[in-house]
Amino acid sequence: MDEELDEAHSQQDMDTAKTRTPFFQSVPRQGETMDTYTFPRHRLPTYMHDEDKIPLIIVACGSFSPPTYLHLRMFEMAKDQVIESGNYELLAGYYSPVSDQYKKEGLAKAVHRVRMCELAVERSSNWLMVDAWESLQGEYQRTAVVLDHFATEINGKNGERGIQLRDGSYKPIKIMLLAGGDLIQSMGEPGVWAEEDLRHILGEFGCLIVERTGADVWSFLLSHDLLWHFRRNLIVVKQTIYNDISSTKVRLFVRRGYSIKYLLPNSVIQYIEQNGLYR
């Protein structure tokens, strides 16, 4: 009797496995063209808990090829730093993968990178989202332009939107760029960034800078006039548990046939395997 029951359960498990929808197919997918694109708002709250604070959204621009646990972790570190400051109420965070026009070596197609980011955040976070707009553009978009896009979508062209307060009025939401220390260092290198863009990014939006291992961000800011000028609009995010997982290393591991388990979410690993990426 027990053997028959075990056989029945085993057959039921196999039948269920055959009909079960793979995880990466059950996660909602954004439009893959500008004709079907809509700005993601499903995790954007409709009200504030403390209306005396500054409502804040943080945006990370990058390749995310593939997104790793460090890409997820940097948002959590930024969240801790924002809460610690006591000035802001963090509403949401967004990944904005670059388009294929970025022409970086080892870059998977934008449609794959957006999808991997969606898979990475779907069940691991309740406040992170992925915006495909930048990835769908026919030309490479400067970071300043991407942040302007977020400002328009969230606050309206003329600042008529934002987050609604209890009295029915709207409060503009501050948008800040989330970046690693290497990106900030590139801002100090001559010719890499247009000064007009830097002034716009640092002055209009501001930046959360995640410290890298062995880097002294404040010493670097001290040595560059423009960055120092906007220092009050910069928040340095301390990395108390250092993590040097990089997408470059993950891609190399895949090419060499090494395990990438525990370097990035299982759903992303499965997607890489299913689509034969980075081989």
How many helices (DSSP H) and strands (DSSP E) are in the chain?
Answer: 11, 8
Q: Are 209 and 179 in contact (CB under 8 A)?
A: yes
Distance between CA 205 and CA 150 in Å, rounded?
A: 11
**Cα angle for residues 219, 225, 227 (degrees, 5° grid):** 70
Residues 183-203 pLDDT 10s: 776 776 666 788 899 999 999
Distance between CA 201 and CA 204 in Å, rounded?
A: 6
Per DSSP bridges, beta strands 163-164 and 170-171 are: antiparallel
Tell me which of 31-40, 102-111, 189-198 is least confident.
189-198
- For residue 21, the model assigns a pLDDT of 45
- For residue 215, the model assigns a pLDDT of 62
Q: Are 76 and 126 in contact (CB under 8 A)?
A: no
Residues 122-162 pLDDT 10s: 888 999 999 999 999 999 999 999 999 999 999 998 888 99
- For residue 3, the model assigns a pLDDT of 46
Integer CA distances (angstroms), 20 to 93, 219, 249, in order: 31, 54, 33
pLDDT band (50, 70, 90) for residue 19: very low
Percent of the chain predicted with pLDDT > 70: 87
Mean pLDDT score of the chain: 86
Q: Which of 115, 108, 111 has the alpha carbon at shortest distance from 279?
A: 108
> Quick check: 236 pLDDT over 70?
yes
> Quick check: 16 pLDDT over 60?
no
